[in-house]
Amino acid sequence: MVAFQYFPQLVWICAVLITTAFGTFANVLLLVTLCVYKPLRQSSSCPLIIHCIAINLYMTAVTVPGSTIPSFLGPNFDLPHNFCRYQVLFSSAYPLIAFSECLLALHRLSAVILPDVFRSISTRKATTVLIVLPWLMTTILNAFPVAEVGFKFIRSKVTGGCAFISTEGSTFHMLLLSIFASHAPTAVMGLSYLVVLVKTSRDLKRRRSSRNLRRRMEISRTLFVSFLWQCMTIYPILFLLAFFGKQFSTNIPLQLGIRWLTHSYSAINPVFFWASSRLFQEGAREVFRCRCWMQLKQHGSVGPQGEPHGEGTNREMSTNAPTRDRSLRY
């Protein structure tokens, strides 16, 4: 009877570990592809995309498997007193990936509507700031549950896992957390990619032969598909908690299924990159064929061939030159 009681947790743990094992390999392949495949390295957003994929790799290799440990041990196993309180420091990749992908979307949006701003934020120093900023924001955000201000992480008596609750019995702080860490970043991403896709589509109608515009459209479309997949993984649990909280709290199989979906974002995300982009498909094939490793040795930095990162971007800022294709490489 006890074994049957914990059977859903066992199935969930196996499903999560299988998914993350696949996701770890897939994200490593995607990361290597971005680093060595020249048509992708030529994108000015490549360092920011690499940063996002690296976070996804950390989530599939460390964060998600680590979250299964309390559930595997069960609610009756005695964990250290402050285990859940400090676990948030290791599971911080969730808001981190949201903030990082939000800045990536804004970076690509600036290239379309604010080329002068794009020039200034595509230098090495500015790119470093765009990479460090999400880590700073996430550190500040995680300081609240660690200090138990507004909300905290506690052990679930049902599943044995760790979960957020409000310290004051109010949903206001949880709503504020959801808005800041989920709703606001996804809203910015969705609006940014829609503007980029519409603007690029119009530009392609005027300049069908532009290779840079076609690459811009393809990469932006891929990132938009990834954004849609992200929404599919984070909003179901927010919707259920907001409107069916009592029913959701008593339905263990539903909880585990939704948690698996949430944990699957980083693991399955590379599939959408390959399914929606010929560039990423060709890049993966080149990695398997080992044809681009020599190019990586010749061009050690991520960026346009033979140029420092900032100079390659600045040289291509003019989007209206009448005699040659000068589209932004992003």
The predicted pLDDT at position 311 comes to 40
User: Is residue 113 one of the residues assigned to a domain?
Assistant: yes
User: Is residue 223 one of the residues assigned to a domain?
Assistant: yes
Q: Which residues of the chain register pLDDT less than 70?
A: 1-6, 158-159, 169-170, 291-330
**Contact between 267 and 242 (Cβ < 8 Å):** no
User: Is residue 330 one of the residues assigned to a domain?
Assistant: no
- For residue 82, give the DSSP letter: T
User: Is residue 326 one of the residues assigned to a domain?
Assistant: no
CATH code of the domain covering residue 281: 1.20.1070.10
The predicted pLDDT at position 315 comes to 35
pLDDT in tens, 73-104: 777 778 887 888 888 777 778 899 999 999 99
**What 3-state DSSP class applies to 260?**
helix
Cβ count within 10 A of residue 305: 11
The predicted pLDDT at position 158 comes to 67
The runs of H, that is alpha helices, within the chain are 2-5, 7-36, 38-41, 46-58, 64-73, 83-87, 93-113, 115-120, 124-146, 172-178, 184-206, 211-243, 245-250, 252-263, 265-276, 278-289, 293-298, 309-315
User: Is residue 308 one of the residues assigned to a domain?
Assistant: yes
Q: Which domain holds residue 8?
A: 2-313
The predicted pLDDT at position 297 comes to 58
DSSP β-ladder status, 151-155 and 162-166: antiparallel
User: Is residue 327 one of the residues assigned to a domain?
Assistant: no
The predicted pLDDT at position 1 comes to 42
User: Is residue 182 one of the residues assigned to a domain?
Assistant: yes
The predicted pLDDT at position 326 comes to 41
**Contact between 308 and 299 (Cβ < 8 Å):** no
User: Is residue 323 one of the residues assigned to a domain?
Assistant: no
The predicted pLDDT at position 293 comes to 57
The predicted pLDDT at position 296 comes to 53
**What 3-state DSSP class applies to 155?**
strand
Cβ count within 10 A of residue 136: 11
The predicted pLDDT at position 134 comes to 96
How many domains does the chain fold into? 1
The phi and psi torsions of 164 (rounded to 5 degrees) equal -80, 140
